[in-house]
Structure 1
């Protein structure tokens, strides 16, 4: 038996068992899973835990195994450099969120002006980033996008994904 918990927001040992907390119901609630198997894989959400320092006093067994070539080779036909992102919303202290309430892409100018006054970054809903393509995907806030740790999230232009705002608020803990 094996256990898998994705995007854990916390990992603890409770009564001798590993427990992992993660989001559920589209990010609207948290669940705590008690790991009842000898083998578990737990992936952490970004920024959940600082890397541990190396401890050479632990004696972990290692085993070297020979490389086995795959039957079907994977060929790389092309490489493309990923465009550098202009922002990291997960590190912003303040974010102004925009959504479908904006009538036109030109309305983003006033949002950016507001963000400049507030010393904030601008984030957006999924439809603005992926549907309208008005903003880069790195500015998308929500369950599948960036989970914010900002101190404030003014809502300009009807961020309809209210769960995104709730997520931004709960991520501030």
Structure 2
């Protein structure tokens, strides 16, 4: 678990991130988490004429918007009005001020949750429509809120983590090659 200072640094400053691909670890600079959150809210691919890459647009990612709203709400909720920074201050400054004025463990827990949520915005999960090498099932049935059942693929490939997980039996294969080996020996 990261310290409160390390978490605040990740939220407000450019920081180093490690990424392992096929057994080789690389390090690169990552923008502050609050900047990543802003980008997730307002940027989408520009596929129009003459465009390529990304351009700022109106909000398009509801999950990112909800995370930002949760952070802003928590800051306002936890601090009395006389302790809050003026609205002209950046969210980074407000977050640092908030963390300095609430319980350490509470701030640590909240920042850790928000960090995971922001990282989750970049996590791409692809369902695989093949039988699980471990339990043999292709489909999993899960209850929905209205009492009916929803049928989904049992296997999920997490692209960023390079892992495949069966949601039915819980078996996880780290690395696509490991999964393919298990699948070919089935």
What TM-score does the superposition give when structure 1 sets the normalisation length? 0.25
Higher relative contact order (CA 8 A, sep 6+): 1
Structure 2 length normalisation: TM-score? 0.24
Name whichever structure is richer in helix by fraction. 2
